[in-house]
Chain A
């Protein structure tokens, strides 16, 4: 990442409107309690903090601070709603990677990211609707920590929106291929592709939102995205606490055929 992405903050600001940013979090984690339509929603985003004391997490990566702060803000919402209606949790996802660093490993970045996973999944299991809105990169461990435990995943149909286990250049180095070769492989192997349309073919995306400016959304763009989020919310079943929809969608029947077959045959043998 040569330039810091501003998409996370852009969409966080666009969707919160006049709702204030919540205090008590590090500058790299933004949260706000806003209304989407009539729906009380906690918006959560990870953004670059050039002054982050953890230097390896200055470009919007999910690092030690970010993992624990995500867990904190999600669990705060759970505690506040423990005896009442459960607000929507909307993860605005623009995360280039987890933080790669010596201190990060020493201090347990794996646990920090697991804490965020745990918080989002626990919220889902305790009755909070959880939606991830992909407006930029959704990479690897960073996406696991921020978004991948959602009931529904939405993405802007834009070349800068991508889901992957490793960045393009790094993956090319590790697999000893050129970036071009990697892209060719992606064309015939959807799970390896960096294109969001190929990710959609795997069956885990609820909605690919077309015709929206990801970098500079106009009022109508924001309205369209808000409506997509509310439509996704309406599709979440009252007792739906798991991720089964990612295996039962029409696209998943083809895109994740082996994932389904393993489960069917396991159930027979269990």
Chain B
């Protein structure tokens, strides 16, 4: 595990390299790649240079010999934000994977999420795409595990954090952050007494990868090592489904939320204690 010299950082890879790293080396094929030039029709008219893949990379291939498709958000373009085209690439791919699953040809969908959520320049079309992505994941989960990875450094926020929460299995690194509203947005909307967005220790203690795994809101914590990410994804794909998804475990979480309702000053370590007997379930 500690072969540091040979470890390949996953975080420092771009979306395309990440997707290729997760799949088996042979037989990979990128769909709607840069040469297809499907770009955002909305950015140029707002003075922003579009990118020829709109920031989402789709690679079909195999994982340990099983049909798989990886969707990687490229955080280097517009913060990994979801616009009409990038959102349709994710939703459309999941819909095709669902079609194959329903026809008895299971495909493992793997999402590499590195995104701030909706691209504000394409607001309502990004939001609409996220609703369609969510619908497809919920339908797919009945056939195959849907695996999400948040590695960092952008993290996963906004409507896409709900997408992460809907995945059957979620793999995080310590550098990952997973939350609905980014610290800056909370500070802007609620004030710095509610959330000091400059306090990095606070941020990581609330929404960092280690914390999310410790309280059971994610499944696997891995080092920033491509081989570890790949093996965690493979394990997540092959694990037998055990019980309902987190987002289906309504009664258990309702109790937890009501139980914490009066604890105004609850912090990250406090929550680990509060939820510790239950971390295994659901």
Contact = CB atoms under 8 A, between A and B. Distances in A.
Interface size class of B (residues with CB under 8 A): 35 or more
Contacts of A148: 127-128, 131
A246 B131 CA distance: 11
B188 interface: yes
Given A53-B262, A140-B159, A141-B162, A202 B186 contact: no
A113 B162 contact: yes
Contacts of A174: 120, 185, 188
Contact of B139 (A104, A117, A242, A259): A242
A191 B125 contact: yes
Contact of A165 (B88, B126, B162): B126
Contacts of A238: none
Given A141-B159, A144-B127, A246-B132, A266 B185 contact: no
B45 A189 contact: yes
Contacts of B247: 71, 111, 114-115, 117-118
Contacts, number: 241
B180 interface: yes
A120 B84 CA distance: 23
Given A102-B195, A104-B181, A110-B161, A125 B138 contact: yes
A267 interface: yes
The majority secondary structure among interface residues of chain B is helix
Contacts of A122: 138, 248
Given A118-B247, A243-B132, A175 B180 contact: no
Nearest to B260: A107
A69 B88 contact: no
13 contacts: A64-B257, A102-B194, A102-B206, A105-B180, A114-B166, A148-B127, A149-B131, A163-B124, A171-B123, A191-B125, A242-B135, A266-B31, A270-B31
Interface of A: 53-54, 56, 64-65, 68-69, 71-72, 75, 97-98, 100-115, 117-119, 121-122, 124-125, 140-141, 143-145, 148-149, 163-166, 170-171, 173-175, 185, 188-193, 199, 202, 204, 241-243, 246, 256-259, 261-263, 265-267, 269-270
Given A106-B271, A121-B135, A164-B123, 19 more contacts: A65-B258, A69-B254, A97-B189, A100-B190, A103-B266, A105-B186, A106-B267, A110-B165, A111-B253, A113-B165, A115-B248, A165-B127, A189-B46, A191-B124, A202-B125, A242-B135, A243-B132, A258-B84, A266-B31
